[in-house]
Structures are given as structure tokens and as C-alpha cells.
Structure 1
Amino acid sequence: MNEAKRLKLEVSTKPTLIPILADVLTEELPLIEVYLATIKDPKTISRVVVELNTVLPIPELTHLKRVKGKQILLFPKNIVERDNVLSYLTEKGFNTDLIEGDIKVGKVAQIAPKVRKQYEVVHKLWPCNFHSNPYLEKLSTNSLFSQSELEKHAEFMRIAIDICEITGVKESAVVVDPVGNTVVAFGFDLSQEYPIKHAVMVAIDEVARSQKGGVWVRHKDYEKIETFIKTKYKDLEFGFSNSEEGPYLCTGYSVYCNTEPCITCAMALVHSRAKRVFYGVKSAKGALGSLCKIHIVENLNHHYEAFSGLLEEE
């Protein structure tokens, strides 16, 4: 064996992927300037907090604690000039004799942290209320899947790769029912037949066929490809289970695409109510991380999770 082949065999082939998350989970939190004062007598902290919350509540900053040691958060800096803070507090009915006259300006988190990484940054500036969401933490730290689960995801992606190699096209999609890890349907790029017949669209139509629907004529080689896959992956089952989530098109299903779906396909996956989408290679026209992130657009009535980089090298 030559050195090049030996090195290739020694390269780790453990599958990896990257969650494509909403910006609110990954970006640094915006900060806002506020006025801070020092409470004269520590014994009056509770009284000061009650009075301020009564006469000058800050509904937009309820994620923040009002007190840090002897410091009290008064209100956002944009309300009045610094020289007018004490008179403004007096007008509101607050007893300014309870605080020192030296008003300071500080920066605090403008919105509540969503994940612990954000919380740890802004909590150092000013104490925040934070309730960790275990599922979001796993997503944001890319620890959602165990190694065995990653291997299973990789197996389904390899089916997508095989379909491309058999058909000679660059795009394919495999739809899986994760309840039983069964292959429900697959599709490959047939846009030379009709412009909208992208791999994902064909796969969705095949899913509809499995539910006594579907509108397109099945490709003449579909059964041959299916037979090849079943022969190569002997331990895999085909068909769908009676999931509590479906079946209604792709409800509860995972979709494996070797390339990032375009806007048309990404929206089709929204409407067919996919649960997760895994893809290997980013695309200049991709809608799950490149051009946009359709899967997490707030105003849409359905959202799914998206993961990139699965078997990207392969």
C-alpha cells in the first residue's frame, strides 16, 4: 500500500453536522445604556426596589434584576439627560434621599438571553433572569445527537449519495420516518423533464404517493434504484410507521439532501411539515443558511430544524 492510500485510510470518518440556528440563538445580545445609582443604606434595599418598581417600572427590561450589590438600576438612559435624573425621579414620586447623588451610566442586556452562552456574557454586566431550555442548549452547543445517532444520519445521507451516483445527477433527497428509522421515499433531480422537479419536490411527491396521493408519473428507474438500495442496505426497513405525528405528507419525517435546498424546496418542506432537514453541501442559492433561513422565519406557520455539513467531504 502506498503512503497516500495509507494516509487516506487513517483520516477520521466520524460524521459531523452543524445546526443552522436562528440568529437570536447565536448572535451577541444587543446592549442598552441605563442609569445606575448607589443605595445609601443597604438596609433599605428592599424598600428602594419596591418604590422604584411602583413608581417607575421598566417593562422592557423585566429580564434584569433591579439590584446588583448596592447598585440600583434606575431606567434607560434615553429617557432624560444625566443631569435631570434626580429631578425626574422626584417627579415620579421616588424618594431620592435613599440613593447617592452620583448617577452612573452602565450597559445591560436589552433583551433576555436565550441560551447559557449568551447569559454568561451579559450576566457579567448586570444580573439577568435566565431559565435554561435543555433542548435549546443541546442545539446551540451541537450536542443534540449521540455518536450512534450521527452514524444513522450518515447512513441515510449515504443513500442520497448512492442515488446521485446511480442516476448521474447532482441532487437527491431521502425521506425517513425517524419513529422506526424507515425509508419512506426518495427523489432525484428531474428538472430536465420539468423545471420544478427538483430532488426535494420529487421526494415529497413520492411521500404523497405512499399516502395514496402524488401527481407526477414515477420515474421509470425508481423501482430499480429502490431494489439496489434495499440490497446494499440490508438492515434498513422501508415504508412508514403509524406515527402519532402523521402521516400527513412529511409530518414528523426527516429529509436528507446532498445539497442545500433552494427557496422553492425549502418552502415545500415547510408546507409538507417536515421535522428535520439534513444536507451535506451548501449552495449559493440555498435557503437553509446561505441565502436565508426559511426554516425559522417567525411568521410561517410551521418550522423545522436544519443541519448542514453531514458527510460534506463524501
Structure 2
Amino acid sequence: MEDDNSRPIKRLKLNDNPEWYTSAILTDEYSKEVPRVRVYLSELDNKRLISNVMQELSKMLPLERMNLHHLKRVRQQNILLCQVNDLNGQSLSRYLESVGLSHNVVNLLCKNVREYDVPALPSLLRWQYELAQTYWPCKFHPDKYMESLHNGSIFNEKERNFHSKIMHLLEGITNELEHSKPCGICIDPRTKGVVALASSGALISPVMHCPMMLVDFVARTQDGGAWRQEVSHEFQNVNEDIYNDIKVNSVISGIPKRVLELIRTDERFKDIKVGAELPRGKIKCDASEQNTAQNVDNLEKYGPYLCTGYDLYLSQEPCLMCAMALVHSRARRVFFEKCSNNGALVTRLKLHAVRELNHHYEVFQCKKIDQTNHLIYS
């Protein structure tokens, strides 16, 4: 008889329909303290001399020259002179004279000198700035958008509810239709409609990972798709009744028949919109309608091209191959639930943080929370 104590303990879920918490995966520079660099400080005995000294320093040795423009020059009677590494073996007095400071100012500055560590780079977020201020007075230009990404206020309540709705759909399809295979949903953020939905096809081909399949299903809505024959069974014999409430100027060729029928017949998901924008040349509308949009993004201007302007929701963190495919397909945002051993967005590396890439998408991880705002782990 098996011992009950040997069985894995299942955590109790307090809510059968929990909400989801969405947190941004930012580059490392936003999560680390600003590095520091060693400089020379000079402490003047007489505060009245600071003004005259500063005139020469600002002209002959500005902070911009040392890439320390984010710092203030003076703290009380201490004056920041230069980085220690700038001397290249010279004495401090000889270095200061070489940049054009007068002999009297050099003698004055070299009386009480000490080394000190100051922030080497500008602060990107307020928490970094407040910490940097404890070392040396800094200048700070807040980036409200990056602050909202960091503190989680980027999404309003309506948007958070929409994320939860799509994650519930993703979870339902993963568990009820796909036997826990990795799944993904592509959303048009303008219409909040499902453009495509796919699961892993690794049993068909080792390269048919879920994100690769999802991009291919998006391509189907644009008269493309490289794996039409391999996945033809997914799109046959769709019940015609489910077309009744779908607009004429939209396509559902990126949504497999089983999933489409679930969305249109299951009470949990019936309010979720489906359908992608037709390729621009096939849309019939007045020229006046085409000219009404203002501040449009690339999706609005150029029409659908793979995942341009689209948001992707994945049950698992994509691998490097899939993460690069999402770069090439021009995804707007990528949301994922579970980390993967070979994940390329947070586990192994942060591909979206590689500056040399010619496209960058934002990345968010979605986690369940219960009614008391505790994270739920399955």
C-alpha cells in the first residue's frame, strides 16, 4: 500500500477563476543598481572660493568631457574634479594644468584631495536615482513609460481584465483541447480580436514549435502559410453556423475548427471577438474612411504583415529559435505564462534586450493571483 506521505502535495487554489498578474520583463539595466566609478574630490576650506573655481572647471574640464554629465559638480564644499583613470599615470596637479586650469586654481584644488565613488551612468528609474543620490547629487530625467512598465501601472483595469480573459482562454484550450501541449494566441490590439490560435506541432516536425505554428497560422490570414498541407486537418469542416456573427471584412482562417467552435459555443468565451483584418487590397471601404485614422502605427498604416502590431500570448516561454521568429515577424508584445528550460526571454537570455536587433518587442510574464492577491502556482 502506498504511503500517503509520499504523494505530492497539491496547493489549494482559493479561486476557480483567478485573475492574472502581468509583469514586464525588462532589460537588466533596469533591475540593477547604477554602477559607480572612482573620482577625485577636492574639499575647499572656504565656500566663497567655489564660484571662482567652478568658472574655470566648467570651461576647461566640463563634466560632459568625462561622460559624467548626469552628476552635479559640487556637494557642500566638495568639488568633483575628474575620474581617477583619466590621469593615465600623471599626477593630479599635472593633469589639471594640462587641461588649461590656472596655476593658482590647481594649487587650491590639490590641497585636500581624496578618492570617492560616484554613479557612473545616468539613472533610468526613480528607485535607481534615489539610491544614487545617497552617493552623490545627480540629475534625473524620468521616463514615465518605463516607470509604468517597472511598477506595473502600464495597463489599466480594462486592459488587465482583457489579459485575464485571454489567459483563461489559453488555459482552457491548453487543458481541454490540446492535452497540455504548448499553445499560443495572437491578438489584434486594435479590435481585441483573436487573429490566430495554434498549439505545438512537434509531433509532425521538430521545428513546428507553438510560436512557429502561431506565426504560420497568422500568415494563413494573409493568404500565406508554409504548412498548409501539414495542418489541413485543423481547418476542415467548420460548422457554418459559427460564421453568423463574424464581420464580412475579417478572416478566421488562422483559427483551427475545434478552437473556433469552442470559442463560439462555450459560455466562458462567447464574448471574445474573433477574426483578422483582410489583406489591405481585399478590404472594400471608402477613401474617406481610410484617411480618418490619426497617430496610427505600422499595422494601421500598412495593413497586416505577419505579426506586425499584434500581441502574442503563449503558455510557455519561447526558445531562441521561436523568439527570433517573433522578431522577424514583427510582433508588438509577447505575453507568456510558464518559463521554459531553454527559454530565450528570461531564463537563458533576454533576446528582446539585444540592441543590435532591428526589431524589439515588449515582453510580459503572466501569473495567476487569487482574490487576496497571492500568486498561485500550479
Same fold by TM-score greater than 0.5: yes
User: Which residue does 2:233 correspond to in 1?
Assistant: 220
Match of 1:3 in 2: none
Amino acid at match of 2:272: L
125-134 vs 88-97, which moves further: 88-97
The answer for the alignment partner of 1:21 in structure 2 is: 26
Runs of 4+ in 1 over 4 A off after TM superposition: none
Check the 8 A contact 2:93/2:107 in 1, yes or no: no
2: distance between equivalents of 1:275 and 1:60? 34
Residues 157 and 174 of structure 1 are in contact (CA less than 8 Å); yes or no, is this contact kept in structure 2?
A: no
Q: Which range moves more in the overlay, 302-311 or 44-53?
A: 44-53
CA deviation digits over 1:88-121, x for unaligned, max 9? 3234332225446110211101111111111111
C-alpha distance in 1 between matches for 2:188 and 2:335: 13
The letter of the residue matching 1:189 is S
Cα contact 2:25–2:365 (8 A) shared by 1? yes
Which residue number corresponds to residue 7 of structure 2?
A: none
Report the AA paired with residue 152 of structure 2: N
Paired residues of 1:169 and 1:188 also in contact (CA < 8 A): no
The match for 1:70 among 73, 77, 87 is 77
Please show how residues 53-202 of structure 1 align to structure 2 within 5 Å: 53-57=58-62, 58-80=65-87, 84-94=91-101, 95-99=105-109, 101-165=111-175, 166-202=177-213
Supply the distance in 2 between the matched residues of 1:56 and 1:199 (Cα, whole angstroms).
57
User: For residues 212 and 109 of structure 1, do their structure 2 counterparts lie closer, same or farther at Cα, with a shift above 3 Å needed?
Assistant: same
Q: Report the aligned-residue RMSD.
A: 2.4
Paired with 1:162 and 1:271, the residues of 2 have a C-alpha distance of: 29
Q: Render the CA deviation track for 1:157-207: whole Å, top value 9, x for unaligned.
A: 222222222022420000001111111001101111011111111111111
Separation (CA, whole Å) in 1 of partners of 2:232 and 2:319: 22
Structure 1 residues 81 and 265, CA, compared in 2 at 3 Å: closer, same or farther?
Answer: closer
Match of 1:234 among 270, 287, 311: 270
Match for residue 299 of structure 1? 356
Change (3 A) 1:9 1:80: closer
Shift of 1:11: 8.5
1:40, 1:81 → 2: CA distance? Answer: 28
- 2:298 is matched with which residue? 245
Determine which of 37, 46, 49 is the counterpart of 2:42: 37
Rounded to whole Å, the distance in 1 between the matches of 2:349 and 2:224 is 31
**In percent, how many aligned pairs have the same letter?**
36
Residue type matched to 1:27 in 2?
Answer: K
Change (3 A) 1:238 1:268: same
Q: Answer yes or no: is the 8 Å Cα contact 1:39–1:100 preserved in 2.
A: no
3-state SS of the aligned residue for 1:257?
strand
**3-state SS of 1:79 partner:** helix
8 A contact 2:174–2:180 mirrored in 1: yes
Which ranges in structure 1 are unaligned for 5 or more consecutive residues? 1-6
TM-score relative to the length of structure 1: 0.90
Check conservation: 1:277, 1:304, Cα contact below 8 A. yes
Q: Is contact 1:161-1:258 (8 Å) kept?
A: yes
Q: Greater Rg, structure 1 or structure 2?
A: 2
Structure-2 separation of matches of 1:297 and 1:83: 38
Shift in alpha-carbon separation, 1:106–1:82, aligned structure 2, 3 A: farther
What amino acid does structure 2 have at the position aligned with 1:69? Q
1:253-292 residue CA offsets vs partner (Å, 9 max, x unmatched):
1100011111111111111111111111111110110011
Alignment TM-score, normalising by the size of structure 2: 0.76
For the 8 Å contact 1:175–1:184, the answer to whether it is kept is yes
